[in-house]
Amino acid sequence: MANIYPRRNKNNEITSFTIRVYRGRGSDGAQLKPYTTTFKPDPKWSEQKAEKEAQRAAILFEKQCKEGFVADNRQSFEDYADYVIEYREKNGLLKATTAKGYRTLLKRIKPAIGYIKLQDLKPQHLNLFYEQLSADGINIVTKKGLSTKTILEYHRCIHMILENAVKEMLVQYNVADRATPPKHKRKEANFFERQTLRRIRRYFLTFEPLVWQVTVLLLMYTGGRRGEVCGLKVDKINREECSIHFCNNLLYTPEKGLFDDTLKTASSDRYVTVEPFVMRKIDQLIELKKEWAKQMGSYWHKNDYLLCRPDGQPMRPDTVTLHLRDFEEKFNKIIEEKNKTRKIKIEPLPHLNPHAFRHTHVSLLLLSGVDPLTASKRVGHASPTTSYTMYGHIMKEADKRAAQIFSNVLN
């Protein structure tokens, strides 16, 4: 509740009112400085009317404080960061998974710069923080510094928060723009060789249950992200045209559980054609789900998702990642045992993860002569530039082929 304090002149006349709103306590337990504003009544008003108007102003000011609309560049970076992430997540400006990631990053950011007032924050503070992150021992697992990619994730988090402060006119410019984070060289995307992809397909179709066959075939033949594949619903599958509509993203966080969300970008909403063989496998899974529903009876969890567990519950995206890892470990042990008695050794499976299938899908399309625009649209890249950037090595090979084709045409 707002507190109102009248200020009087020598004649005991009210000249203004000081309004203060309690802000609570900081992470150290100390009471935070309250939000404060001044209300000046019209000199012509009676004292009773002035107090009434001050009460009205106090109610409005308290509401603005609670909703985060009060400009206060004296607040600390820590307090403002918490407000920004909560506000942007609540208003759909941040995805829940992104907000969760930012809150994790803040666990390191707050001890370093959280205590600094917004208006006092300097580029040097950020540069020092980035140096600390790269120091040996920061990474608990490797005992080394954090990778450049990870440090840039901290930089992007800080930049987003300060950019919000610029928009709210709490600071004149974004300090993060003037800091010097480490430069990151984008690695070219790793992908499976054609023969390796065929082996993976053969192993899954031979040894894995139908639901995992369909999961891997969707990753393989569409280049879809794992959340898009898990979020695919039966009514978005066109059997006659052998196409599927990616328009939903299934996500999971411990706080919210499983939930539907928008796709990563507007261009991610797309129709993808698959070959009849994949569609037949999808039809088999739909029929299998009907059998599961009969067997489970009242225990069946009815939903519209294509991929699900035997009790009908949707498949969590991280389950796909874990299953691929377990599959890789299981088969590499089998391959290792077989190689003990073989003259011609079998190559072990490479690291399997959902995104590797996406990279492979794009890479093989480009190597086969598909133009970058078509390839980028098929996998939902925001721009064909992404394909040029991530698949530079493939583009070079495609360029060599184009040169040879042109030469053949003239000759």
Instruction: Determine if the pTM surpasses 0.75.
Output: no
> Rounded to 5, what percent of the chain is helix, strand, coil?
55, 10, 35
Q: How confident is the model at residue 170 (pLDDT cuts 50, 70, 90)?
A: confident
What is the per-residue pLDDT for 367?
Answer: 82
Mean pLDDT of 27-51: 84
CB under 8 Å to 100, separation ≥6 — which residues? 253, 255
What is the per-residue pLDDT for 155?
Answer: 97
- Asked if residue 19 lies in contact with residue 61, where contact means CB atoms within 8 angstroms, the answer is yes
What is the per-residue pLDDT for 366?
Answer: 83
Mean pLDDT of 278-290: 96
- Asked if residue 358 lies in contact with residue 366, where contact means CB atoms within 8 angstroms, the answer is no
Mean pLDDT of 382-399: 65
What is the per-residue pLDDT for 73?
Answer: 57
CB under 8 Å to 396, separation ≥6 — which residues? none
Q: Give residue-wise pLDDT tens across range 191-222.
A: 888 899 999 999 999 999 999 999 999 999 99
Q: Give residue-wise pLDDT tens across range 289-317.
A: 999 999 999 999 999 999 999 999 999 99
Q: Where are the alpha helices (DSSP H) in 139-270?
A: 148-167, 194-207, 210-222, 226-230
Backbone torsions φ then ψ of 305, nearest 5 degrees? -75, 145
Residue holding tokens 């519209």?
A: 304
Does residue 398 register a pLDDT over 70? no
Does residue 187 register a pLDDT over 70? no
What is the per-residue pLDDT for 253?
Answer: 84
- Asked if residue 21 lies in contact with residue 34, where contact means CB atoms within 8 angstroms, the answer is yes
